[in-house]
Amino acid sequence: MVQAPQRPPVHGPTFIRLLANLVGADVPPSPPSLADHLGRWLDWSHAIALSTALDGKPSATDSGAHDSGNEEHECTRIRRSLAGTIVGDRVPASPPRRAGGEAGEADASQAVDYPMFRQRHLSLQRSMQAATGELRGRLRDTLAGKSAAMARLAAVDAAMEAALSPREQSLLAHVPDLLGEHFDRLHQAASAQATSTSPGAWLEVFRRDRQSVLLAELDVRFQPVEGLLAALRTC
């Protein structure tokens, strides 16, 4: 079976470790602090909006929001649905047919083209972004109706999303490119092993790696949602 190149383990969040191992990058043992990152990512307009949210004194409003228990159930349902879609996504190949009408494993591994994976990956990213964005907004509405303190938290989260979401989406947009490089390396390594007894093994390695990256990205995208849910559990 074709294996990705082995490197020393990288410490850090699962998503970062997976990407670093796939591309062979080294992650600094002491990354910049969160405050340093925010200082570079927040411009003056975002800083003012965040300061206003922190210093303001919002009052709880009757927003007609859903019950917090229902919101938690809905978040769990949507997360499981997205994870199931990722696990079940196979990006079917269209291998050429042999003379006898059968498509062999070697044919299938040669027929798969990375752009198919790329388009599907982008589609899954859009689905995750849309689902988590909607959930985040609903949870903020629910929090705003609980108390003045929760309303302030909702306002801070809205300001943070407005400030950081464009940066987040820009960074996550590079993930398909990194996976494409991994795809090419595995394919080239398999092509060099002419005696391989399982020609399509490299493709299964790539499918598993891609699935792991997508599930880790799903965890990252749900972190703000989980934070808002944690706040709701205290109400």
Residue 11, in any domain of the structure: no
Residue 52, in any domain of the structure: no
Does the pLDDT of residue 179 top 70, yes or no?
A: yes
Task: Give mean pLDDT, residues 180-189.
Answer: 92
Does the pLDDT of residue 89 top 70, yes or no?
A: yes
What is the domain extent for residue 228?
Answer: 66-90+110-235
Count up the domains in the chain and report the number. Answer: 1
- Is-above-0.75 flag for pTM? yes
Residues 95 and 172: their CA atoms lie apart, in Å, by 30
Residue 158, in any domain of the structure: yes
Q: 214 to each of 26, 67, 158, 184, 190, how far by Cα in Å?
A: 21, 30, 25, 18, 24
Give the pLDDT band of residue 46 (cuts 50, 70, 90).
confident
* pLDDT top residue among 176 and 54: 176
Q: What is the pLDDT of residue 195?
A: 56
Residue 155, in any domain of the structure: yes
Task: Give mean pLDDT, residues 81-97.
Answer: 76
In the chain, the N- to C-terminal Cα span, in Å, equals: 52
Residue 29, in any domain of the structure: no
Q: What is the pLDDT of residue 123?
A: 96
Residues ≥6 apart with Cβ < 8 Å to 14: 216, 219
**Range of 65-74, 100-109, 111-120, 166-175 with top mean pLDDT:** 166-175
Does the pLDDT of residue 97 top 50, yes or no?
A: no
Q: What is the pLDDT of residue 4?
A: 46
* pLDDT top residue among 39 and 142: 142
Report the half-sphere exposure of 139 (CA within 13 A, side-chain side). 29
User: Mean pLDDT across the chain, nearest whole number?
Assistant: 80
* Crossing angle (nearest 10°) for helices 201-233 and 14-23: 160
Residue 231, in any domain of the structure: yes
Residue 186, in any domain of the structure: yes
Residues 11 and 144: their CA atoms lie apart, in Å, by 37
* pLDDT top residue among 153 and 195: 153
Residues 5 and 21: their CA atoms lie apart, in Å, by 9
Give the pLDDT band of residue 99 (cuts 50, 70, 90).
very low
Residue 192, in any domain of the structure: yes
